[in-house]
Amino acid sequence: MPDRANNHPLQRQRKLRRWHRLIALVTSCQLLLWTLSGLYFAFIDIDYVRGHQFKLSVPPTQLDLSQLKAGLVSANKVMIQERLVGELIIGVQTDDGVQWLDEQGAPIAALSGEQALTLGNERTVIKPDQVKWVDRDMPGSEYRGAPLPLWRLWKAEDPDRVAYVDAMSGEVTVVRHDAWRWWDFLWSLHIMSYKDRDTIGTWLLRVFSLLALATAVLGLWLFLSTRVRRTS
């Protein structure tokens, strides 16, 4: 008799409701974070987040390629550009990264802090007056993914806007500001990667994704079974 009572459809439904409430309680906070972060991602312009509005376009210039005397190089791609006024540099890209050479084919020296500030003022609207050397890759940093070394540039009166200049090529690689930092923070909550903020497919994300799926499936099943029982 007790087995029959436990196997009764109504009794099974009550057990499933208890499981559904328990799973929903566990996943509710993360579901709320997914929703809030998703709303932020949906309503803010990604180009604004990336800070393109702070960069100034580099005007075209005439390059005197007759100055180049570099010899044979092995590369997947070769780039020629002007770093400072009148200074041609050659970027040799291989599977190991990019090496920057001067007109003679010799490795170039990194930009000084003063030179980086000059480029930052020419190529951004930030008008930086502070500079800091960056040569370590730190997990979760706001410059992650950019080639090292870098110069970190900002204005003392407005430290929230930061430009990172490649110390070798002189390019403004990334610009960071508060909208990007909010995006980065919410993204780490969204993918549940709290250290490097880039790893998609963490065990936490997989577990909570399965729990959220179970919550939805159980809720749908309970709704349909309740309607069938009431109809009957």
Same-domain pairing of 77 and 161: yes
Q: Are 8 and 15 in contact (CB under 8 A)?
A: no
Same-domain pairing of 59 and 133: yes
- Per residue in 193-209, pLDDT (tens digit) is 988 888 888 899 998 88
- Write down the mean pLDDT value for the chain: 86
pLDDT(156) > 90:
yes
CA 140, 144, 30 angle in degrees (round to 5)? Answer: 35
CA distances from 106 to 82, 92, 167, 187 (A): 16, 11, 16, 42
Same-domain pairing of 40 and 117: no
Residues counted in the chain? 232
- What per-residue confidence (pLDDT) applies to 67? 73
- What per-residue confidence (pLDDT) applies to 1? 46
133 in a structural domain: yes
Same-domain pairing of 191 and 136: no
| pTM score of the predicted model | 0.81
Pick 17 or 120 by higher pLDDT: 120
Q: Are 31 and 65 in contact (CB under 8 A)?
A: no
4 in a structural domain: no
For residue 218, the tally of other CB atoms under 10 A from its CB is: 17
Same-domain pairing of 27 and 59: no
Angstrom distance (rounded) from CA 153 to CA 129:
7
Task: Count how many domains the chain has.
Answer: 2
Provide the residue range defining the domain that includes 195.
Answer: 12-46+183-231
Q: Are 160 and 153 in contact (CB under 8 A)?
A: no
Same-domain pairing of 77 and 40: no
Ranking 20-29, 78-87, 91-100, 109-118 by mean pLDDT, the lowest is 20-29
Can you say how many angstroms the Cα of residue 162 is from the centroid of all Cα atoms in its chain? 16
Same-domain pairing of 170 and 215: no
